[in-house]
Structures are given as C-alpha cells and as structure tokens.
Structure 1
Amino acid sequence: MGLIRPGRQLARLTLDTLADLPDDVRSCLFWELDPVRRERALRAGEAKSEKEAWLSGVLLDWGSCGRVAYVDDRAVGFIVFAPAPYLPGAEAMPTAPISEDAVLLSTAFVLPEYAGGGIGRMLMQSVVRDLVKRGGIRAVEAFGDTRAPKRGGVEHTCCVLPADYLLAVGFKTQRPHPRFPRMRLEVKSAVTWRGEVEAALEKLLGAVRPGRAPQPAAGNRGAHREKLD
C-alpha cells in the first residue's frame, strides 16, 4: 500500500460524517422508513432526527453501514448499505425483495464535479471489503433506475441508483424490470478488483487503513474521519 495522501480519505458513516453531507441527503428517508412513517416524519419536520436515529440504530445493531469520501476535507461522496430489514422502503420496489444471502446497497452519491474520477468505484470496493471481513454474506444487491441521468459517475438526482452505474461497478441484472431492475454483485467475484482498486485508491483518495471508530468528543470535527482499508 502506498503512502497516505494528505487531505484524501474514506471514513465510516457515523453521526459526525453524516453531518458533513448535503441537507437533502441528511433528510432523505426513502429507504430508511416505510411510506407511512416517512410521510409522518416529513410532515412533522423530523426527517433529519429520524435519519440520525436510523443510523444510530444500525450502527448499534449491525455495525458499519456506509462510507464517506473526502477530498481536502470536503465530503464529495458517500455510499449506504445494510441488511434489508433495516431498509423497509425497499419493500415498495417492484422487483423486491432482495435475496436472503445479500445485503442491500441503497444509495450512493458523488458530487458532479468529482464524477468520472473513480470515486464511485472506490466507495463500492470499500463496501465489498467490509462484507468480506464480516463473512457469511454472498452478495450485494441494489435496485437500479434505467432512466436516471448519469454523466460519468454517480450523481444525486434521485433516491435510486442509476442502473448504468451499477453495471459499471460489476453488478448484473438479477430480476429484470423496464424501470427498476434488481441487480446483484457477488462478493467473491468482486474481490478480484483488489489490485486495480488499490492502485486507483492510492492515486485518487490515498491508501487508508482500518480501525474501529470511537465516539468522537464533542467539538472534535476531525477525529471522526477514521482511515480505512
């Protein structure tokens, strides 16, 4: 692994790193709540607090469920994944449910000005590494949108990932649908990306190493950016 490049990091998704993301991301509950609870939270103006409560619950019950990419201390992208029971919004998708041996990749985002630089692929590989370490998970599945705009990378235009992005990072169609196909990436096959992705990681985000994320002290805005494999 190469030396860490200053200012370029991947961090676990925590309450602190969530706060670095755009407001519309922090208040989006498309996947995290069923439609009835989601509408109730939106009407009550509690979307952000519900998102934080959801993240806290998943971190306590299941563990790490996302990554945030930083360039020069700016959050430029993120990815979220979890077992299907933690993402009840997926039940409304026409190609649901996901397979029992898979976790759900709900969404990902890269700022448009950073699209096309490989950050989306780096985030996806960080998910695969996490699942390999956990063991017992055979695949990642996601719902793609065949009509979502995509210009060289993942863009935050809707709550469902572009199908083209999923295909680009190795997913294959599991259950076809004209608009929202369910797609699947076998964890075992994704491990073969390692050499390619590590080289790109050194070039783009810097080589980073794992560790468990302690709860940062209040006011310590830099401590939460834990370096990852």
Structure 2
Amino acid sequence: MSRRVVPLTLDNLDDLPATCRSCLFWELGPLADPEPAPAEEARLAKEAWLSATLLDWGSCGKLAYANGEPVGYAMFAPPGFVPRAMSFPTSPVSGDAVLLLNAHVVPRWRAGGIGRMLAQAVAAELVPRGVKAIEAFGSTGPASQGCLMPADYLRSVGFKTVRPHPAYPRLRMELRSTVSWRYDVEYALERIFGTNVGKSLTPARFTPGKP
C-alpha cells in the first residue's frame, strides 16, 4: 500500500472534500455577505485565496493520499491571511503564530497512520520557517460548529488557553525548539487529525460577534 503527504496546491485543490472545497468560512472577512456564495463562485474564490497565500507566504496545507486516493488534509496560515480570524471576540491571533484552520482524516483511514503522517508533515513544514506557535479558536458550543474545534479537546491534546471566553476561547501550542517538542506536537496534531472535529461550515451559520 502506498501512502504519501504532499503540499496543498492549485493542482490538487480539487482533492479536498467537496464541502471544504467550496467553503469560504476562513477566507471571508466578518463583513462578507452572510449568504453562502454559489458553488462555482466559492470554488474560484478558494483558488484565489490559495494562490495568493502560496505566493506571499508559502505552503499552507497538506494532503494525504493512500493508494492514490485523498484520505486526509490539514490547512494552516498566518492570521494576516485569514480574514475570518478577526471576527472572533478573542482576536487577534498572535503575530508569531499560524492559525490551524481545519484538519480531517476520512473515518476508514483513522487507524492507518495517516494522522501521524499529516502531523509530521505539518511539524516539518513549520519549524524550519521559524513559526513560534500554532493557535486555534476553540468552541464551547455544540460539536456541529464545523470549522471550530472543541476547546476542551484542544486542551486535552496540549493547547493552552491564552485568551479565555465563554464561547470562543483562543488557544495556543508553543513550538519549542527542543527534542520533546516534536513528539508533543506530532502527538497532538495526530489526535486532531484522527478525529472528526474539523468540518466545513458556511459563514451564514457562524456569528461569533453576536451574544
């Protein structure tokens, strides 16, 4: 069985799950039209965002394949490239961190080591680029809140709360330049990728600025 992890590019963007491929949750700012964009328009907007991020910052995602089939992915970017990040009451994301946007492994591959492969690929990508930390906006609400991961879950895998909030705390994992860091972060990311805590969500269903 062949397995590999490659950077997310315009050439393989269509290998993302269909819901994520046309979801602009993170790519749109807080003042965007709350109605979801038509599918084709959303796909083009996703391509434009990825193209700009690749050109200005570099690799911002990983795709995992098994026997030629896409089976998992992770997306991440600095806060300046993620307009939606400014809509949270616990914004802004720290300037020395990247934001973990989404991560997913298809259910039937979660016991096959794909999560570990993705975790290792993300760690290997970020450390040499001088990234100091990974941050994420947690949710204390229902698990159906899509692109937001449960705050308790993030804490359980090593993230620490840096700005508390009753609904949308911001959490952080330091990327220390020590031997133990690599294993800690890979373990945490593997657990995130190995569960279905990151699902696509349309902006119309998310209004963190409202009570």
Q: Which moved more, 1:85-94 or 1:118-127?
A: 118-127
State the Cα deviation string for residues 176-206 of structure 1 (Å, max 9, x = none): 22322111011116852546859xx9xxxxx
Matched, 1:138 2:135: no
The offset of 1:64, in angstroms, is 0.4
Give the whole-Å Cα distance in 1 for the aligned partners of 2:64 and 2:74. 9
Cα gap change, 1:93/1:189 in structure 2, threshold over 3 Å: closer, same or farther? farther
2-structure distance, mates of 1:54, 1:143 = 20
**Residue 15 (str. 1) matches residue 10 (str. 2):** yes
Find the counterpart in structure 2 of residue 83 from structure 1. Answer: 78
3-state SS of 1:188 partner: coil
- Preserved CA contact (<8 Å) 1:148 1:161: no
What's the offset of the Cα at 1:50? 0.2
Residues 80, 108 of structure 1: 8 Å contact kept: yes
Cα distance in 2 for partners of 1:74, 1:190 equals: 35
Deviation at 1:24, TM superposition (A): 0.9
1:163 aligns with 2:151: yes
Return the alpha-carbon distance in structure 1 between the equivalents of residues 62 and 90 of structure 2.
26
Aligned position for 2:26 = 31
Letter in 1 for 2:132: R
Contact 1:32/1:87 (<8 A) preserved: yes
User: Cα 1:165–1:77, aligned 2, differ >3 Å: closer, same or farther?
Assistant: farther
Q: Is the 8 A contact 1:7 1:72 kept in 2?
A: yes
Q: Aligned-pair RMSD on alpha carbons? A: 2.9
Corresponding residue of 2:59: 64
Q: How many residues align?
A: 187
Contact 1:13 1:67 in 2 (8 A): yes
Partner residue of 2:68 out of 62, 67, 73 = 73
Per the normalisation by structure 1, the TM-score is 0.70
1:183 paired residue among 167, 171, 192: 171
Offset from partner CA, 1:60-116 (integer Å, 9 cap, x none):
111000111122222121111111111011111121111122111111122233346
* TM-score normalised by length of structure 2: 0.76
Aligned counterparts of 1:160 and 1:85: Cα–Cα separation in 2 = 18
Q: What is the rounded CA distance, in whole Å, between the counterparts of 1:174 and 1:18 in structure 2?
A: 33
Structure 2: gaps (5+ residues)? 191-211
Secondary structure of the 2:122 match is helix
Task: Give 2:41's aligned residue.
Answer: 46
Compared with structure 1, are the counterparts of its residues 114 and 15 closer, same or farther at alpha carbon in structure 2 (3 Å cutoff)?
Answer: same
* Aligned match for 2:91, one of 73, 96, 114: 96
After alignment, is 184-193 or 48-57 more displaced? 184-193
* Paired residue secondary structure (2:51): helix
Question: Aligned-pair distance for 1:167?
Answer: 3.0
Structure 1, gaps ≥5 residues long: 1-5, 150-155, 202-229
